[in-house]
A and B are shown apart, each in its own frame.
Chain A
Amino acid sequence: MRNPLSERITDIPFSGIRKFFDIAAEMKDVISLGVGEPDFDTPWHIRDEGIYALEKGRTAYTSNAGLKELKIEIAKYLKRRFEVTYDYEKEMMITVGGSEAIDMALRAMLNPGDEVLIPQPSYVSYMPCTVLANGTPVIINLKEENDFRLTAQELEEAITPKTKILVLPFPNNPTGAIMERRDLEAVAKVVIEHDLYVISDEIYAELTYLDEHVTIASLPGMRERTVLINGFSKAYSMTGWRLGYACAPEEILEQMLKIHQYAIMCAPTNSQYAAVEAVRNGDEDVKKMREEYNGRRRYLVKRLRDMGLNCFEPYGAFYAFPCIKQFHMTSDEFATRMLQEEKVVVVPGTAFGECGEGFLRISYAYSLSKLKEALDRMEGFIEKIK
């Protein structure tokens, strides 16, 4: 029989966490700090709207770009929260999570050979999606000494005549790093100078603990060269609803919409109705969850530092990214041993790029008591291997 598979697909490796998932799934009494989604349930008033929508029989397709009502609310929200204005009719589409938006944006913008700058450590989909879109990924290794922020110099050094897109994944999964206004301004200057486009994945925009999140699209000259990606998963604890959105200049957006129309049709209708309620009346929920995350964040970072680990202050998302280089083990060995010996799951930094070597991603999307127990075990493990 002929090989049924596409080489382009088979050349892409599986994600590095499958192994951990498989080991952990076989064990009892495992405590996981390895989850990349909120521990809160979707606030009830949002779920309630989802139920109402079903009761009213709102079960048909929406328009390809998404429910008008929802897009209007998102446009208001973006103005209110992040000072960016988008025409909801021409510059916005509702997607199946932020993930789909990343894929669509890359596919709509890349020609074979175009280079995409991907700062790492970062979420795992940028590289494969770039490859699938015929682009060439170029990695920028972010450094702990810069608090894992992207500097103008690092950007400048990675640019070639073929560079077309910069992916900007902040607030960042897995490091918890953020980019403040001045960091973004420096990057924007280089982007404009070299006539690049930015795909800004701001799915964690609501979860920052220093100042309010700044979107690069709000900086002068950047709106016309930015695809802004956000969604409902992290801010409103709506991961399973699979709902995100993309905002971009009309020229880009209409091509993204073409792919979406053929590949997806529309985002889930029920989720879209629930999301109207989220974005209209959810600010208070977001605030409460952010407060709660922030408390756990401080607790986690303090515990890690008390264990003698070097841990830079993560001001975004819900992860800490401590350094474990002092133990002379790879991240993978450390995580595997800690899982086997103490039954605690963390994700090795290398799952998010080679430069994650020597680091662990620890999620604080857990109750304080869970965090505490897991960290007690981790402390015991560190005592043992010291």
Chain B
Amino acid sequence: MEMREKILTYIEKNSRVDLRDLAVMLDMDEAIVANEMAAMEAEHIICGYHTLIDWEKTSIEKVNALIEVRVTPQRGRGFDSVAERVYNYPEVNAVYLISGGYDLLVTLEGKTLREVAQFVSDKLSTLDSVLSTKTNFILKKYKDHGTVIAKPQNDERMLVSL
């Protein structure tokens, strides 16, 4: 595996790993790992370091929605300009261009149902190139970013075995 691929594969799941430990595990020089990571940040290959939170276990209310959006692509710019209009809203979490029955998949986070509804009706639907929207509310997250969040894993092995 390429050096970068090794680093990325590891930190994708363990972004908080100590650089020194990472270097030991990958059998690389610590300075080289640090340089590569800095370079990949500059090149925007590494776009951020996030925390996976199960908000349901907190007292904080969050409402998440997946919105299917059909749009009219613009001459010369395709879907990019309408995508940009959508992703600039801070309440929008993700925007993907999708093949199939609709064009953009927009994920959204709001505090309340009403807030999400208002965003869709006031902001998203009123954009010129938006033809239609279909809002799906997320009822429960079982797995996110490759991690099962519905139930924590316990180590069920015996404490000692030969």
Contacts and interface: CB of A to CB of B under 8 A. Distances in A.
Interface stretch (B17-25, B72-80, B121-129): B17-25
A191 interface: no
A368 interface: yes
Size bracket, chain B contacts: 10 to 19
A347 B160 CA distance: 8
Contacts of B160: 17, 20-21, 24, 32, 34-35, 345, 347
A291 B14 CA distance: 15
Interface in A356-386: 368, 372
Contacts of A372: 21
A357 B124 CA distance: 72
Interface stretch (A158-166, A182-190, A293-301): A293-301
A345 B159 contact: yes
B contact face: mostly helix, strand, loop, or mixed = loop
Give the one of A35, A124, A351 with max B CB within 10 A: A35
A368 B17 contact: yes
Size bracket, chain A contacts: 20 to 34
B24 A36 contact: no
B76 to A, nearest CB: 43
A37 B159 CA distance: 10
A315 to B, nearest CB: 13
B157 A37 contact: yes
A296 B25 CA distance: 6
17 contacts: A17-B160, A17-B162, A20-B160, A30-B159, A34-B159, A34-B160, A37-B157, A37-B161, A39-B155, A41-B153, A295-B10, A296-B25, A299-B24, A345-B160, A368-B14, A368-B21, A372-B21
Interface of B: 1, 10, 14, 17, 21, 24-27, 153, 155, 157-162
